[in-house]
Structures are given as structure tokens and as C-alpha cells.
Amino acid sequence: MKKTVFMFALVLLAVTVGLRAGEVCKGCSDPEGNKWKVTSIKWIKANEDDLDKDNKFVALVGKVTKQHDSDTYFFTDGTGTIELDSDIKLPVGETIVVRGRIDQAFLHIGPLEVNVDSWRHGGKEGEWLK
């Protein structure tokens, strides 16, 4: 009997810890499956006031037009220009695919930007999300 109660308590503890770990990681993955949504700067700017889009994972295809400072870049995809916040050095003037998260300016204080998680040289469309 003591062994059964001990095993039950152990399983209950494991389930509780597992659920807590899931809570810590909310938003780490997209419930729709593919977290990287290929989109445009025009779409990001059109949804600037939609708080449901904040921290949305996006992939943009275009060129860095200018490096402003050590971690701020200007990026265009032909539909508009947006700031990129990147700890990773990005190539200026090359076609690249940038993957990151939308960072909306709270109460329009600060710029609308994309926080860069990774980037790749431009390739064929099916290769962008790999």
C-alpha cells in the first residue's frame, strides 16, 4: 500500500512539473505547426495596432539597405521598410531571408521592428523555412 501511494505521488509530481514547464514556454512554438510565417512588411505595418500580432514569428525576404548602429538595420522587401533589431551581423545589399518576431511599439513609443532570430542567404522559395 505504501509503495502504491508513493508511486502515485511520484507520478503526480512528474505531471505537475511537466505542466509547469509547459507554462514557462507558452509562445515558444506556434500551435498551427509552422511558426515561421512568410509575410511582407506591408502586412506587418497594416497590423501594427493588433496586439495579437505582437511577438508573431515571421519570415521576410528582402535586402538590408543600411546599418544604423551595431544592432539596428533597415530592411526592405519592396512593400515597405522596417527596422530590424539584430545581435547577429547582417549583410547589407544582399537578398536574404530574415526570421524573427514582430516587436510592436507599446503605445507607439519606439519603432515597430522585427527582432531577428536568424537569417539565410536568399534561395528557392521552398528552402526559406528549413
- Domains along the sequence of the chain with CATH: 37-127 (2.40.50.200)
Residue 15 phi/psi, 5° resolution?
Answer: -65, -45
H or E element: which one contains 97?
Answer: strand 95-103
pLDDT band at 119 (very low <50, low <70, confident <90, very high): very high
pTM for the full model? 0.66
Please tell me the predicted confidence (pLDDT) of residue 18. 44
Q: Would you call 72 helix, strand, or coil by DSSP?
A: strand
pLDDT band at 43 (very low <50, low <70, confident <90, very high): very high
% the chain with pLDDT above 90: 48
